[in-house]
Copies of this chain bind each other. A is one copy, B any other.
Amino acid sequence: MKELFNYKISLSYDGTSFSGWQKQGNTKNTIQEKLENILTEMSGEYVEIHGAGRTDAGVHAEEQVASFKLGKFEKPDCIKDYLNRYLPVKICVTAAETVSDDFHARLSAKGKTYVYRVWNSKTRNVFEYPYLYQYDDCKLDCRKMQEAADLLCGECDLASFCVPSQLKGYDKKGRSTVRRIDGINVERIGDEIRMTFEGSGFLYNTVRIMAGTLIEIGAGKRSAESIPETVAKRDRASAGFKAPACGLILKAVKY
Which residues does A use to contact B, with CB under 8 Å?
A: 12-14, 60, 62, 84, 89-92, 94, 123-129, 131
Contacts and interface: CB of A to CB of B under 8 A. Distances in A.
A13 B12 CA distance: 25
Given A123-B94, A124-B84, A129 B89 contact: yes
A129 to B, nearest CB: 7
Nearest to A129: B89
Contacts of A91: 126
6 contacts: A12-B126, A13-B126, A14-B127, A89-B124, A89-B126, A94-B123
A126 B84 contact: no
A126 B13 CA distance: 6
A72 to B, nearest CB: 25
Contacts of A14: 126-127
Contacts of A126: 12-14, 89-92
A12 B127 contact: yes
Contacts of A13: 126
A74 to B, nearest CB: 18
A95 to B, nearest CB: 8
A89 B128 CA distance: 11
Q: 6 tightest A-B contacts by CB?
A: A92-B124, A94-B123, A14-B126, A92-B126, A12-B126, A90-B126
A45 to B, nearest CB: 27
Contacts of A128: 127
A79 to B, nearest CB: 14
Contacts of A12: 126-127
Nearest to A94: B123
A89 B16 CA distance: 15
A129 B84 CA distance: 15
A219 B188 CA distance: 37
Contacts of A89: 124, 126, 129
A94 B125 CA distance: 9
A128 B94 CA distance: 15
Contacts of A129: 89
B131 A92 contact: no
Given A14-B127, A90-B126, 4 more contacts: A13-B126, A84-B124, A94-B123, A127-B128
A90 B128 CA distance: 10
A131 to B, nearest CB: 6
Nearest to A90: B126
A177 to B, nearest CB: 32
